[in-house]
Structure 1
Amino acid sequence: MNYMFWLFSLSVCAVPCDSHTIQYYTTLIPSPTPGVNHYTNIAFLDGFRYGKYDSDTCHVQYFDPALNALTEHVEKKTKYVRVLVVFQKQQMEFLMGYLNKTYGDGDFYVYQRKFVCELNEDGTHAAYEEIAFDGKEIMVFDKENEMYVPTTQETLLVTQQWNQHYDHAKINKINRGNECVQNIKMYLPYLSNDLERKVPPKVKISRSQSESSTALHCHVYGFYPRDVEVKWIKNGRDEIYSEESAEILPNPDGTYQIRVSVEVTPEEGATYSCHVDHSSLENPLVVPFESTDLSTYYIVIPVVAALSLLLVALGIFVCRKRRRKGSSGGQEGLCMRNSNNDSSVQSVSR
Structure 2
Amino acid sequence: GLPKSMSVLRVNDLVLAAYDSGIRRLEPRNGYSPGQQDSQQFWSAGSSKCQGWDSQGDATYQVLVQEVNASAPQAEPYYMQILKTCELDDATGTVQIATRCSLNGEDVLHYRGDQNRWFSVHPAAWRVAERWNQAAEVFGAMNHLTPQQCQSWIQSSASFIAQQTAQPTGHMALVPRTEARPRRLICHVTGFYPRPIKVTWEQGEQDALWEQLSSGILPNGDHTFQIQVSIELGQEGAGPTEHVCVVRHSSLANTTLRVTWDSQPTVQTVTMEIVVGCLLTALGVGALGWYLRKK
Match of 1:278 among 235, 239, 249: 249
TM-score under structure 1 normalisation?
Answer: 0.61
1:342 is matched with none
Task: Give CA deviations for 1:158-183 in whole Å, capped at 9, x if unaligned.
Answer: 33123124335747668622352253
Task: Give CA deviations for 1:42-78 in whole Å, capped at 9, x if unaligned.
Answer: 1112222211111232111123363395222322221
Task: Give CA deviations for 1:169-218 in whole Å, capped at 9, x if unaligned.
Answer: 74766862235225326623xx5144234211011322334441144322
Match of 2:8 among 2, 26, 42: 42
2:47 is matched with 78
1:132 is matched with 102
1:200 is matched with 167
Quick one: distance in 1 between partners of 2:153 and 2:110?
Answer: 23
Aligned length in residues: 249
Amino acid at match of 1:201: P
Percent of residue pairs bearing the same amino acid type: 20
- The 8 Å contact of residues 96 and 102 in structure 1, kept in 2 or not, is answered as no
Quick one: distance in 1 between partners of 2:159 and 2:257?
Answer: 27
Q: Which has the larger radius of gyration?
A: 1
- The reply to whether residue 177 of structure 1 matches residue 149 of structure 2 is no
Secondary structure of the structure 1 residue equivalent to 2:145: helix
More deviation, 195-204/255-264 = 255-264
Quick one: distance in 1 between partners of 2:223 and 2:159?
Answer: 15
Q: What is the Cα deviation at residue 40 of structure 1?
A: 1.8
Quick one: distance in 2 between partners of 1:149 and 1:239?
Answer: 45
Equivalence map 1:1-350=2 (5 Å): 34=1, 36-63=2-29, 64=31, 66-67=33-34, 69-100=38-69, 105=75, 107=76, 109-121=78-90, 122-151=92-121, 155=122, 157-167=123-133, 168=135, 170=138, 176-184=145-153, 187-188=156-157, 192-209=159-176, 210-213=178-181, 214-235=183-204, 236-244=206-214, 246=216, 248-270=217-239, 271-281=242-252, 282-290=254-262
Quick one: distance in 1 between partners of 2:186 and 2:107?
Answer: 29
Secondary structure of the structure 2 residue equivalent to 1:128: strand
TM-score under structure 2 normalisation?
Answer: 0.71
Q: Considering only aligned residues, what root-mean-square deviation do their CA atoms show, in Å?
A: 3.2
Secondary structure of the structure 2 residue equivalent to 1:166: helix
Higher RCO structure (Cα 8 Å, ≥6 apart) = 2
Quick one: distance in 1 between partners of 2:164 and 2:170?
Answer: 19
Q: 1:90 to 1:267 in 2, by over 3 A?
A: farther
Quick one: distance in 2 between partners of 1:269 and 1:240?
Answer: 11
Secondary structure of the structure 2 residue equivalent to 1:89: helix
Task: Give CA deviations for 1:242-283 in whole Å, capped at 9, x if unaligned.
Answer: 45551x233333222222344453531353332211011132
Q: 1:221 to 1:45 in 2, by over 3 A?
A: same
Q: 1:181 to 1:65 in 2, by over 3 A?
A: closer
Q: 1:135 to 1:240 in 2, by over 3 A?
A: farther
Quick one: distance in 2 between partners of 1:175 and 1:111?
Answer: 17
